[in-house]
Amino acid sequence: MKKILYVVLDGLGGTPDPKLNGKTELEVANTPNMDRLAKKAKLGLMYPIGPNIAPESDAAVLSILGYDVDKYYTGRGPLEAHGADIEVRDGDLAWRANFATVDEETLKILDRRAGRNLSTEEAKALAEEVNQKVKLDDAEFIFKATVGHRGVLVIRSKKGKLSANVENIDPGYKRHGPYSIAIPNPPSEVQKCVPLDDSEEAKEAARLTNEFVMKAFEVLKNSEINKKRKAEGKKPANIILLRDAGDSLPKVPTLQELYGLNFGSIVEMPVERGIALLTGMKEVPIEDSTDYKLWAEKVLYALEHYDGVYAHLKGPDVPGHDGNYEKKIKSIEDIDSIFFETLLPKLDFSKVVMAVTADHATPCMLKSHSEDPVPLMIITDGITPDGLDYFGESACSKGSIGKIKGTELMPLLVKIAKG
Ligand SMILES: O=C(O)[C@@H](CO)OP(=O)(O)O
């Protein structure tokens, strides 16, 4: 059986953009290595979850790893918490958190990511102040800074289980059943958490969440760290926006149980780490996630030790969210000229089947995730290439894989790997 290499480029996908003459960022980027791969590949398009769904990274990744989100998804918070090594028991309330900036008089949101320049040291110190100084009535909590402006909050009530059926505080995402959907051009008011059913568990969850946000605001507003940030001309991280609550961890079969395969994972964000751990993958740490040469070396190392490797590079998503065309295109070109340039000469496609795709599209034009299908190519010796000559959405739309749903990809790769 061949080894499986599953490369996910976060937010790689785009949508035909008038500013790019109807092309996508991937199609405009100079990607000789990925184009060379495309010539040997079968191409297709993949709906991470399904048509007309603009997925968040968490649900998208679960789905493209082969897990039906309607069956397994329990919210982003628990996945982020698991990825941050925080215990989530059934009935805990786990939130994805953002350090953000508000006007301290009006609470109007000025920046959902506090300027995207919060250092991990600053975030950890702010989190420490919140953990020390905020006290909740009838509940305990852990608030943990993870990467940059991101964090996790887990609240455990002393009175009983909590329900995650509550609305987000973060106006950038609206609850839609167990999911949240991104709101392009969101309102700038901090939302009140409200119960989405009339259960006591949801009402108490909303009460505790609002209490936490306001008490943490008072602590952050007066923090010396934020006073220093202001003095340096930086935006204060003076509020914690919460979204995508969950009140239990997904109970999923591991990839070992499903396919008898041991996977290694190379990821950089807590949400993907949480998913990888839950699906039974062994973590291959990457010490510097900005070093694409190191990523390639870690992939080659992992291929020697596991049946499959899931490598999830964050790169293109961040500039997509910021609407920064130049940076998103540069991110794609760097992945091509460094990650793939280093990897491909050492990959033996007689022994490896590789998929290159994305977890979702983050078009600069929208500054958020879109429902566009993402480009997909599958390469290994012995398959009949489609004879297309570049890796991009329009070429992929002509590929022999056709349009598939995310849950179909892993079974397809296992089938090809088994020959
Ligand atoms: O964490 C992130 O990278 C993004 C998308 O998942 O979230 P946000 O838009 O809140 O930064």
Residue nearest atom 10 in ligand 1 by C-alpha distance: 98
Its ipTM equals: 0.96
Is 311 in a helix, a strand, or coil?
Answer: strand
| Residue in 109, 116, 150 to alter for ligand 1 test, most ligand atoms within 8 A of Cβ | 150
* Cα atoms found within 13 Å of the Cα of residue 124, Cβ hemisphere only: 6
If the chain, 419 residues long, is cut into consecutive pieces of 10 residues, what is the mean pLDDT of each piece?
98 98 98 98 97 92 97 97 98 98 97 96 97 96 97 98 97 88 87 97 98 98 98 98 97 97 97 98 96 98 98 96 97 98 98 98 95 98 96 98 98 96
> Which residue owns the Cα nearest ligand 1 atom 3?
318
pLDDT tens-place string over residues 195-239: 999 999 999 999 999 999 999 999 999 999 999 999 999 999 999
**Residue extent(s) of CATH 3.40.720.10 domains in the chain:** 3-72+251-418
User: Pocket of ligand 1, candidates 9, 57, 359: which has the most ligand atoms within 8 Å of its Cβ, to mutate?
Assistant: 57
Residue type, 124: K
DSSP assignment string, 328-345: HHHHHHHIIIIIIHHHGG
CA angle 314, 80, 409 (to 5 degrees): 55
Q: Is the CB of 98 under 6 A from ligand 1?
A: yes
Answer positive or negative: Cα dihedral of 46, 113, 28, 334. negative
- Measured from the CA of 58, which atom of ligand 1 is nearest? 6
- For residue 305, the CA-to-ligand 1 centroid distance in Å is 31
Q: Hey, which CATH number is domain 3-72+251-418, 3.40.720.10, 2.60.40.10, 3.40.718.10, 1.10.150.20?
A: 3.40.720.10
Stated pTM of the model? 0.96
- The span from the CA of 29 to the CA of 201, in Å, is 49
Tokens encoding 100: 């953000």
Indicate whether residue 113 lines ligand 1 (CB < 6 A). yes
Residues 6 or more apart in contact with residue 215 via CB below 8 angstroms:
134, 135, 136
- Amino acid 256 reads Q
pLDDT of 222? 97
d(Cα 219, Cα 239) in Å, to the nearest integer? 9
Give pLDDT, residue 9: 98
**Distance between Cα 418 and ligand 1 center (Å):** 36
Separation between Cα atoms, residue 328 and residue 358, nearest integer Å: 14
Atom of ligand 1 nearest to the CA of 368: 9
**Sign of the C-alpha dihedral computed for residues 23, 33, 412 and 263 taken in this order:** negative
Comparing CA positions, the residue from 261, 334, 347 lying closest to residue 299 is 347
Q: 321: Cβ below 6 Å to ligand 1? A: yes
Give me ligand 1 centre to Cα 369, in Å. Answer: 10
**Residue 304 CA, ligand 1 centroid: distance in Å:** 32
Residue 190 pLDDT:
95
pLDDT for position 20: 98
Alpha-carbon Rg for the chain in angstroms: 21
State pLDDT tens for residues 236-271: 999 999 999 999 999 999 999 999 999 999 999 999
Ligand 1 site, residue 150, Cβ cutoff 6 A: yes
